[in-house]
Amino acid sequence: MGSSNRQLSFTPLKKSDISLLFKWVGNEHVFSWWQDEKEWDTFYKKYYKKCKSSYEFPHIIFFNNTPIGFIEYYFTDKVGNNWWPEYPAGTVGIDIFIGEPNFAGKGLGSIILKQMLSFIFSKLNVSKVIVDPGPDNIRAIKCYKKAGFLNGRLTQTPMGQALVMEITKENFLKQNGQECNPCP
C-alpha cells in the first residue's frame, strides 16, 4: 500500500516481519485483547499464509520509519468460515494493534484507522468496513468511535463475544468533508 499520513506508513507484511509480530503479541497490552497462536511454528505458518493471501492483507505500521504495530484488512466473506453471513460480499473487516508499548495509548490508532479507511474506500469497491473488538476493550471501542465507526451489536464469534461496529463509505466521506457520488 505504501501510503502515508504525517509520519505514518504501512508496508505489506513480509516473512521477515513475522518474528516482530510474534514478539508484539507477547506484550501484555496486546495479548490481553489479541488472541493468537502461542506456539512459534503455528504462528509463523498462519502469518506466512496471510502474506500470500488474495483476501487478507496484513501490514506493518510504521511511525517515522519505526515499526510500531500491525493492521490488516480482509474480505469478511472469505475468512473465518463466514463469521459474518449478514454482511454482503465485498464487506471488509479490519484488525489493528499497536505493538510497541511506547506508542500505545498515544491517540495514533484512530489516525491509522482513518488512513486505512481512506485507502480502502478510495481503492477498493467496498461500501462498508467492520471491526469487532471485545465488548470490554474500552480503549479499542473509543478508538474506533473516534475514527467514525458506529456503535454496534454484540455477537458470538469462534474467538468469543465481540462488539461489531461499522462504518459506511458514505459516512466516512461525509465525516471527512467529501462527497459520495455515487457510493457502491
- Retrieve residue 22's grid coordinates: 510474534
* pLDDT at residue 2, as a whole number: 45
Kindly report the CATH number that applies to the domain delimited by 4-175: 3.40.630.30
* pLDDT at residue 3, as a whole number: 44
**pLDDT tens digits, one per residue of 2-24:** 444 458 999 999 999 999 999 99
pLDDT bin (cut points 50, 70, 90) of residue 39 is: confident
Name the residue ranges covered by the structural domains of the chain: 4-175
* pLDDT at residue 34, as a whole number: 77
* Alpha-carbon span 71 to 85, nearest angstrom: 23
Q: Which residues of 21-58 are buried (b: 16+ CB within 10 A; e: fewer)?
A: bbebbebebbeeebebeeeeeebbeebeebbebeebbb
**pLDDT tens digits, one per residue of 41-64:** 998 999 999 999 999 999 999 999
Q: Is the dihedral of CA 118, 122, 127, 130 positive or negative?
A: negative
Across the range 122-146, mean pLDDT stands at 92
pTM score, whole prediction: 0.88
Mean pLDDT, the chain, rounded, equals: 86
Q: Which of 41-45, 76-80, 123-127, 175-179 has the lowest mean pLDDT?
A: 175-179
DSSP 100-159: SGGGTTSSHHHHHHHHHHHHHHHHS--SEEEE---TT-HHHHHHHHHTTPEEEEEEEETT
